[in-house]
Chain A
C-alpha cells in the first residue's frame, strides 16, 4: 500500500450553473493521517468530498487514491477503499433493519453471507452498537443513527474514512464518544466540520478552503490559533481558545 494514500493534483471543478467550486486544489494525505477540512459554507468542502469517492469527477486535475486515479472505470474499487459518511444519517440509512443496512455495502461487494455477518458484527461492535442490530433503523436516536451510518461504511473495510459534519445533531455525550472512537481508528481520516473544537481533538492536520481555493495546510494546533486566517475564511477561533467569551 502506498504511503501517499490520498492526493489531489490541481483539482478544479465547476458546477453546471458556472460556479467555480474548486480551483487548483492540491494536497497529499499519507496513510494513517487524520486531516480536518474547514471553511465557511460554500467554500468547496462538500464538493471536495464528492470527488474523493468519484461522485464528481474533476474538470481538470486529478484525485489519486493510492496510485490509482479516480475515474469512471476505477470508481467501484475507489468506493470500496474510500468510505464516506455523509452529513445526514437519514440519507445514508435506507434499509428497514439496522443489520441489513450495515450489510448493504459488504453484500454489494459480493461477499459470502458468513463473511458479511462477520463484518457487520465487527463494525457494529466497534461502535458499541451491536445490540441495535435487530432494531428498525428509523426508530433510532440521532446518536445511534450516526453510529449505524458509520458502521455501514466501516463494514466495507475502507482504507480511508471520510466524514462530512459528523457532529451535527449530536449531543455532547455522543460527540465525546465519537471523538474517542475516531482517535482509536488508525486508518486515514478526513473530517469536514464547522466544529473546530472537534477538529482540534481528532485531526493532527488541517486544510482550510476559501472560495474553492486551498488557503492553508498545516498542523491543526498551528492553524486553528490563527485568528486572522480563520476570520478571513468566515470562521472563528475554536471555543477552547476564545478565553471565556
Chain B
C-alpha cells in the first residue's frame, strides 16, 4: 500500500511539473497558426487560443466553408440537390425553347434557373454537391463568419431571374409546347 502511495506521489509530482511548465509557458502565445507552414507541429508550448473576431486563423482560399454558386456556369441539372444528404438545396428549373448559351467550360445550357436556394443553416459542409457538379459551378469558399439575426437570411439565393422573367419564360415554353402539339396534330 505504501509502495503504491509513494508511486502515486511521484507520478503526481511529475504531473504537477508538467502543468507548472504549461502555466508559465502561457506567458507567450503560439506564434505559427498557419497549418500549411512546415514548422506548425514543432510549436508545442504557449497559448493556442485565437481570440476570434479580433484574430483569425489563416485558412486556404479553397477551404471547405460556405457554398457559392456561379450561376452563369450552372446548367440547372439538379445533381447537387439530389446529392445533398440534408436537402438544403432547392432548385426550380424552367425549360428553354432553344439553347440559351454555353458555360465557361463549353457545356450547353438548355434550362433557366428560376430558383436556386441553399439553406446554409441546414448545410453540413460535406461538399458532396461540389463533387457531383458537372460544370464545377458550385464551390466551397473560405467564408465562414456569417452570423444572421434572422434565420431566413441564411438561405442564400443564387438565381438572378426576376419573377416577371420567370413568368415570361414559362409562358414562352407553354406557347412553344402548344405550337408543337398543334404542328403534330396537323
- A complexed with B: no
